[in-house]
Every structure is written in C-alpha cells, then in structure tokens.
Structure 1
Amino acid sequence: MESEMATAKELKELSADDLKQRAAELRETLFQDQLKRRTGSLDNPAERTQHRRDLARVLTVLTQKTKA
C-alpha cells in the first residue's frame, strides 16, 4: 500500500471494487496497529489516527458512488 493516502478527489476516480479493496487493506492495517498498540510496539500513534481517517475517506467515497 502506498505511504500517503490519496485525496478524496483521486479516490472518486477509482472503481467501487478498487475502493472496497482499499478499505479491506486499511481495515487490516488498523487491526495490525491495534495489536502493536496493545503489545507496546506501535512506533507512531499518529499513524493509527491517519489510517482511521483514510478508511473513513474511502468509505465515504464508496457510499457516494453506490448511491449515485
């Protein structure tokens, strides 16, 4: 997965299947972040916040696409 998340404008250009795949990847990343946090090996807690926001952005665009 890329290090910097795409903007909402860039996400709108992706297909619904691509967005679903990206959402699944972000959910897995969040799960890994949660495990790292509980074991005390999470280096940068701000990354977890960024991943949550990225997932919300992807899900928002996906919802807009499915309702349009």
Structure 2
Amino acid sequence: MKASELRVKDTDALQKELGDLLKAHFSLRMQVATQQLTNTSQLRKTRRDIARVRTVMNERASAK
C-alpha cells in the first residue's frame, strides 16, 4: 500500500483501513506467539502500513 493510494481515500475509509490493519497486526502477533507464523516479514509490512495510514490522517488533521 502506498501513501498516494491512501491520500485518495476519505477519512472514514482511512479509519476502517486502520482498524483492519490493527486487527491483522494483532492476529500476526498471536501467530508469532504460538509459533504458527512462518513469514515474519508480514509483521513489518503491517506495522509500516499502520504508520502510513496514521501519517496521512495526521497530515489531514494538521492541514485543517
């Protein structure tokens, strides 16, 4: 997911995207804890996507 793709979305869509990413991140953390996750790079990707969404949301909040 790119920041340019996120900037096109409206605030409600960003909130939903953030919620979905947080749930996915939690699920991945649980899989790591139970040693079920084989591709640990997914954690990093999810964490960075969460940061991108939050960055775009903060940019919009500070622009107002």
- TM-score over 0.5 (shorter chain): yes
Letter of the 1:66 counterpart:
A
Structure in which a larger fraction of residues adopt helix: 2
Letter in 2 for 1:45: T
How many percent identity over aligned positions? 32
Q: Report the TM-score, using the length of structure 1 for normalisation.
A: 0.88
1:41 offset after TM fit, Å? 0.2
Unpaired runs of 5+ residues, structure 1, are none
Cα RMSD (Å) of the superposition? 0.7
Q: Which 4+ residue blocks in structure 1 deviate beyond 4 angstroms?
A: none
The residue type paired with residue 28 of structure 1 is K
Unaligned runs of 5+ in 2: none
In structure 2, what is the Cα distance between the partners aligned to 1:65 and 1:43?
A: 37
TM-score norm. by structure 2 comes to: 0.93
